[in-house]
Amino acid sequence: MYTISCRRCRQPVAADVYRIACPACGGPLEFGYPDAAWSPDDDEPSLWRYRDLLPVQGDTELVTLYEGWTPLEYSEIECPGELFIKNETRNPTGSHKDRALALAVTKAREFGRDAVMLYSDGSTALASAAYAARAGLHSIVVVGRKVPDYRLLPLVVYGSHVLEFQGSAAEALDWVHEVCQKQGIFETTTYRLANPYSMEGPKTIGYEIFEQLDGVPDWIIVPVGGGATLAGIWQAFVELQRLGQVERLPRMVGVLPEGYEMLATALEQPLESDQQLRALAPPDAPPTIQVKIAMTFPPDGLEAVAAVRQSGGLFVSAADEEAVEGQMVLGAMQGLYAEPSAAVVIVGLEKLKAMKKIKPGELVVAVVTGSGFRETGVINGKVPLVRTPVEPAFGERVIERLLEQTEAE
C-alpha cells in the first residue's frame, strides 16, 4: 500500500482518487510506502519485481510490455575504476521512458480513463503510444512543428493520433495540461506536476543497479533533460538507505547538452523556484543533435539539482561532436548502438577522468537511456561513412588491405 502527500503543505492526499496536484494548495505530490520492506520478487524479471514500492493498488491489473530488469553490462571502455553500462535500450520501445509509462498507463486504466494524451515527440511519446495500445486506450500525441517524419511514423504504427501544435513548446505543455483536465483525459507527459505516478518509474533503475551490483556504485552518470530520471535514481538509493539496505549513497553526475547548462548554473547559485530556473533558459534554443535532452525548461530540473547537490556530484556538458564520439565508442567497444542523447554518458565519463574525479577501484555506472535505432536520422552526415567501391574481380584484395590496415591501427 502507498500513501500520497503534498510536498509543499505536507497534507495527506487520498490515494484512491485521480489527482495530479495537492487539492489544498496545488503543490506537487509524492508517495510513501510506510509498510513496505525490501523484498524484490525474484520470479518477476521486470520492474514489477518492486511492486510493493510502486504506487499501484493491490488488485490492479498491470499494463506491461515487460519493461525494466535491463542488463548491467561490464565494460572494457577505459576507466580508472570499474565501469558498468546500465543498458536501458533493452526496454520495449528502446528507452528508459517505458518504466514511467508502464506506471502511468497502468494508473490510467486503474482510474477508469479511456484516453491518454501528452506533449512529446521523443521517447515519452513512443512509450505512451505503445502502452496505450497494449491497454486498449485511445492515444493522442501532441508534437511540435518540424518534427521529422521518421520520429512520428512509429506513433502511427502504434495506432496513435498525432496532433501538430501551432505554438511554442511552453504553450503546448500548458494547453495539453488544460485539455486533459477539462476532458477527463489521463495526461502522460512525464513531469511531477502533470503525472506524479510516472515519477516513480525511474527509481526502479536505481533498485536494479543495487541488486545487480550487490552494492552501491561510487558514481552514476545519467543524461539529463527534464531531470526526473536522475532525481528518480537518486531517490531509489535514499529509499534503500531508509529501508536499511545501504549505508552510503552514490554521487550523481548529470550530463547536459552544450548550450543547455541551466541546471549547472542552478547548482552554483541556489534557486528557489521554477520561475528562477526559467529565467536562466537560453533565449534561442541552440540547434543540437541531442534532441531528447535539449530542454529550455527542465520541468523536474530542481529535483535533479537537489539530488546532485545532496550526493556531492556535479553536472557536465557535452558538445554534439563529443556525443557522436561517445556513440562510436559505445558501438565499437560495447556492441551497443545508443542515440547521441544517451551516449553522452561516455562524454560524462571522459570529463570525470579529465578532472581526476574517479579513483582506482571505484565503481562507475553509466545509464545508457535510449537506443540509436530510433534516431539514426540525427547522425546523418555526422558519422564518417566511407563507401569503398568494390568490384567482384578485385574485391578480395580490397578486403585484405582493409584487414591489414585495421591490424596496423
Q: Tell me which residues touch Zn ion (CB under 5 A).
A: 6, 8-9, 22, 24-25, 27
Residue 1 or 9: the one with the smaller Cβ distance to Zn ion is 9
Dihedral (Cα; 370, 372, 373, 377), 10-degree rounding: 120
- The SS3 call for residue 291 is coil
Min dist. Cβ of residue 299 to Zn ion (A) = 18
The 8-class DSSP code of residue 33 comes to -
How far is residue 109's CA from residue 352's CA, in Å, rounded to a whole number?
Answer: 43
Nearer to Zn ion, 9 or 279 (CB): 9
Helix (H) or strand (E) holding 142: strand 138-143
CB 336 within 8 A of CB 367: no
CB nearer to Zn ion: give 302 or 366. Answer: 302
Of 6 and 140, nearer to Zn ion (C-beta) is 6
What does the alpha-carbon distance between residue 113 and residue 185 come to, in Å, rounded to a whole number? 7
Work out how close the CB of 300 gets to Zn ion at its nearest, in angstroms, rounded to a whole number.
18
The Cα 263–Cα 303 span in angstroms is 10
In the complex, the smallest distance separating the C-beta of residue 8 from Zn ion, rounded to whole angstroms, is 5
For 379, phi then psi, to 5°, come to -100, 5
Query: In the complex with Zn ion, which residue's Cβ is closer, 9 or 332?
Result: 9
Residue 281, judged by CB atoms within 10 A of its CB (0-12, 13-18, 19+), counts as: middle
Instruction: Please report the DSSP string for 356-409 in residue order.
Output: T-SPTT-EEEEEE-BBGGG-GGGGTTTS--------TTTHHHHHHHHHHHHHH-
Handedness of CA 107, 109, 114, 115 (dihedral sign): positive
CB of 86 to Zn ion, least distance (A): 34
Element (H, E) at 143: strand 138-143
Nearest to Zn ion of 22, 365 (CB atom): 22
CB 15 within 8 A of CB 2: yes
CB of 191 to Zn ion, least distance (A): 17
Tell me the residue type at 37. Answer: A
Q: How far is the CB of 273 from Zn ion (least distance, A)?
A: 16
Q: Which is nearer to Zn ion, 9 or 402 (CB)?
A: 9
Whole-angstrom distance, CA of residue 290 vs CA of residue 323: 8
CB of 13 to Zn ion, least distance (A): 8
CA distance 62 to 312: 37
- 24 vs 399, beta carbon nearer Zn ion: 24
Minimum Å gap between C-beta 16 and Zn ion is 18
- Least Å distance between CB 27 and Zn ion? 4
CB of 274 to Zn ion, least distance (A): 16
| CA nearest to 168, candidates 176, 158, 178 | 176
Give the residue with the Cβ less far from Zn ion, 4 or 85.
Answer: 4
The Cα 245–Cα 231 span in angstroms is: 19
CB closer to Zn ion, 194 vs 222: 194
Ranges assigned E (strand) in 145-188: 161-164, 186-187
